[in-house]
Structure 1
Amino acid sequence: MIAKLEMLIALAQERHFGRAAESLNITQPTLSSGIKQLEAQLGVKLVQRGARFRGLTPEGQRALEMARSIVGETKRLRDEMRYSTHGPSGQIRLAVIPTALTWGARLAARCTEAHPGLRFSVRAASSQEILHMLEALECDAGITYLDNEPLGRAATQALYRETYTLVCHADDPLAGRASLGWDELAGQRLCLLTPDMQNRRIINRNFMEAGLDMVPALEASSTVVLVATVRQGGWATILPTDLAGFLAASPELRVVPLTGGHAAHAVGLVAPAQEPQTPTLRALFDAAAKLGGGSG
């Protein structure tokens, strides 16, 4: 039954029989057969079928909610039983906002050093996507903003506070400055993250408070694209200080701290509120507490 519930969850997530089967490492006929068997066991139609996947029936939507709860509790049970003989082990699926990927890498490395039985998959996602993924059991934990937009009922552990830096080419007139105010960026040819990113919304708010209406000439969902664009010359971008130091370590680029603006926002680990937490999540939160200096 659990395997069939996982098929329903995967199908709802992918909205395509082929992709759902691939995500579970099974064949499409196996997936289709499993869904039909689940429908027979429950005595209701769960999936609206046609030439393509057309969505879940009302009964399917209700079954999906319960399937997520049952599969989540089953995972908790497996973690507890595995912990008794192997310690924290298994895979942790971590979703991370793009501007915190360096911290995601540090956290995964710190956690696996302490617990070699753990494995990580790290995926970049927007803050809104992370909340959806947590609710849909598509990830086990996330690294996102903790105090800028509502998280709902969640367990959190602060990692750092985000400050901002202008990244510009070495020949930019602002490259030699020790620091800059947000109002001094008027006239800069900017490339920034896309508006669906919470980081971009924070940057927009800082510009608005500085009295500037800044429209970037280029938007991207990847910070690597932003820094690669700045390296072409004639461009600048704004990144969190830690990430800027990592991506802009090039003689062609300069980083200039930005002062003032909105109060720095906390970024940290977030996971569904559970009492008690599974051993794997306890290990992850312990590592995050040590990495963040115990704050949070």
Structure 2
Amino acid sequence: MLAELEMFVALANEAHFGRAAERCGVTQPSLSAAIKRLEDQLGVRLVERGSRYRGLTPEGRRAIDWAHRIVADARALRDDMRSAREGIAGHLRLAVIPTALAMTERLTRPLLARSPGLTVEIRSSTAAEAAQRLDGLDADAAITYLGTPSARRVEIPLYAERYYLLSRGAGAEDGAIPWEEVAARPLCLLTEDMQNRRILDALMLGAGAGRAPRLTSNSVIALIAHVRSGGWETVLPEATAALFAGDPSLVSRPVAQEGAAPVVGLVATAREPQVPALAALLDAARTGP
């Protein structure tokens, strides 16, 4: 049944028979047959069928919670046994919001240095995608904005987000720039599906100066390319802005802090025991680099 549950989880995540089959490394007919076997074993219909995937049945939505738990436990058991043989090993998957990508190496570099049998995969994700990937077992941990604490999650604060205005130019300007002045600049910002963008919009609106940017992208690299070309400016968190500190064509200026700064942290599903690789990552986050 475990193989069928793995395919059921993949189908629920992908919402598409073909993509789920590709993820599982099987043909689409094989995946469909596995789902049918699982339905026969459980005695209920799990998937609404038609010419294409139409979602889970009410029984399927109940079953997916059990499937997540069983598959997660099975994966944890495999990783734990491998680590017992080889030390910290396995494959660790991180979902990271774009504005935190620059700081991930503070955690992964020392962890990988101590664990030659470990590999790490980092995927850029919106905050909503990161939460979905954790829930769907598509990520082992996420670096994202911290919200309301939950007993289902382990949350470790990493840093408070501070912002910098990046412009084309030479030399440095003195003092922090207020948000109302930032809003008046020719801004290019992240897209509205990014929580960072929603935070910036709220800060500018709170200063009485909200205005939609004429250019948006889900890529920080695209924003920096436009700033370098001239005529555009952008706002980035400190860790990301620091990546471009050595660029002589760019000027970085802090934005005046307004209220409590958003906190970014490492988030994982609470379980005891944690698999060794994830436990080591959580320890690295708690102790710092």
TM-score range, shorter chain: over 0.9
Cα deviation, residue 178, structure 1: 4.3
Q: Calculate percent identity across the aligned residue pairs.
A: 47
Paired with 1:186 and 1:175, the residues of 2 have a C-alpha distance of 20
Conserved? CA contact 1:168–1:175, under 8 Å: no
Cα deviation, residue 288, structure 1: 1.9
> Letter of the aligned partner of 2:80 in structure 1?
E
Q: Which residue is equivalent to 2:98?
A: 98
1:170-208 deviation digits (Å, cap 9, x = unpaired): 17xx96344322232242111111222221122122212
Q: Which residue is equivalent to 1:80?
A: 80
3-state secondary structure, aligned to 1:52: coil
1:235-260 deviation digits (Å, cap 9, x = unpaired): 11000011012146422211111122
Is 1:237 the equivalent of 2:227? no
Aligned CA RMSD, in angstroms, stands at 1.9
Q: Which residue is equivalent to 2:34?
A: 34
Paired with 2:183 and 2:8, the residues of 1 have a C-alpha distance of 51
Q: Which residue is equivalent to 1:163?
A: 162
Cα deviation, residue 37, structure 1: 1.6
Pick the aligned partner of 2:150 from 149, 152, 177. 152
1:41-62 deviation digits (Å, cap 9, x = unpaired): 2222222222211222222222
Cα deviation, residue 83, structure 1: 2.4
Paired with 1:18 and 1:24, the residues of 2 have a C-alpha distance of 10
Q: Which residue is equivalent to 2:208?
A: 211
Q: Which residue is equivalent to 2:110?
A: 110
Query: What 5-or-longer segments of structure 1 have no aligned partner?
Result: none
Q: Which residue is equivalent to 1:121?
A: 121
Query: What 5-or-longer segments of structure 2 have no aligned partner?
Result: none
**Residues matched between the structures, number:** 288
Conserved? CA contact 1:10–1:24, under 8 Å: yes
Is 1:261 the equivalent of 2:261? no
- TM-score under structure 2 normalisation? 0.93
Paired with 1:102 and 1:166, the residues of 2 have a C-alpha distance of 17
Conserved? CA contact 2:186–2:231, under 8 Å: yes
Q: Which moved more, 1:174-183 or 1:239-248?
A: 174-183
Paired with 2:89 and 2:229, the residues of 1 have a C-alpha distance of 45
Q: Which residue is equivalent to 1:52?
A: 52
Is 1:4 the equivalent of 2:4? yes
Paired with 1:79 and 1:242, the residues of 2 have a C-alpha distance of 32
Conserved? CA contact 2:184–2:209, under 8 Å: no
